[in-house]
């Protein structure tokens, strides 16, 4: 499903994706069908593809696949400043090993920010705010990042330019190879269109 910005995936708030799923997804027909639930997280401000399971077995297996890092995730971000065409960031997060690969797809000159980059991201680990922290650590914060952005270079009212673009994995039950994507938001295309 597409997760919009400004909504939590789960938690103890009323307005969450987890709470909305039972009203928006048909229940499964298998014997172990349960209330649909997300099997991974996206930050509150991040948009993009979110995977949910509808049976106890599938939820358990998908959770394990994310835990074992066998789901390939691709994100896109708009970053600020000059950056190498590609790279790997291995800065520890919260004392834990972390790794994100990136590839700059396009860059444009910006009066306000100097340069804006459309960056394809490949997180290998799944730490909290990993991509945002990693990009900020190399001096290329995500546009609109109020937490890790550069002082004076925060974009107000436009949101965070971080999008969960695709998931690639083998379905844990059917063994079908799946590639699921959620196209870039229009606001990305306005900068790089």
Residues forming the active site: 43
Are the beta carbons of 100 and 89 closer than 8 angstroms? yes
Among residues 143, 125, 149, 164, the alpha carbon closest in space to that of 43 is found at 164
Sequence-distant (≥ 6) Cβ neighbours of residue 119 within 8 angstroms: 76, 77, 78, 79, 83, 102, 103, 104, 105, 135, 140
Are the beta carbons of 110 and 116 closer than 8 angstroms?
yes
């Amino acid at each position: 499903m597409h997760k919009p910005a400004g909504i939590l995936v789960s938690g103890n708030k009323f307005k969450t994706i987890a709470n909305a799923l039972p009203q928006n997804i048909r229940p499964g027909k298998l014997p172990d069908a349960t209330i649909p639930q997300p099997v991974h997280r996206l930050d509150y401000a991040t948009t993009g593809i979110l995977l949910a399971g509808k049976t106890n077995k599938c939820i358990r297996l998908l959770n394990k696949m994310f835990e074992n890092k066998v789901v390939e995730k691709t994100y896109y971000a708009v970053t600020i400043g000059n950056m190498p065409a590609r790279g790997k960031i291995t800065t520890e997060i919260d004392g834990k090993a972390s790794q994100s690969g990136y590839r700059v797809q396009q860059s444009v000159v910006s009066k306000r920010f100097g340069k804006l980059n459309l960056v394809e991201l490949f997180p290998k680990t799944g730490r909290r705010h990993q991509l945002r922290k990693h990009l900020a650590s190399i001096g290329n914060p995500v546009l609109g990042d109020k937490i890790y952005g550069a002082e004076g270079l925060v974009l107000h009212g436009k949101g965070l330019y971080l999008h969960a673009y695709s998931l690639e994995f083998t379905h844990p039950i059917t063994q079908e190879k799946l590639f699921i994507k959620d196209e870039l938001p229009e606001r990305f295309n306005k900068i790089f269109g």
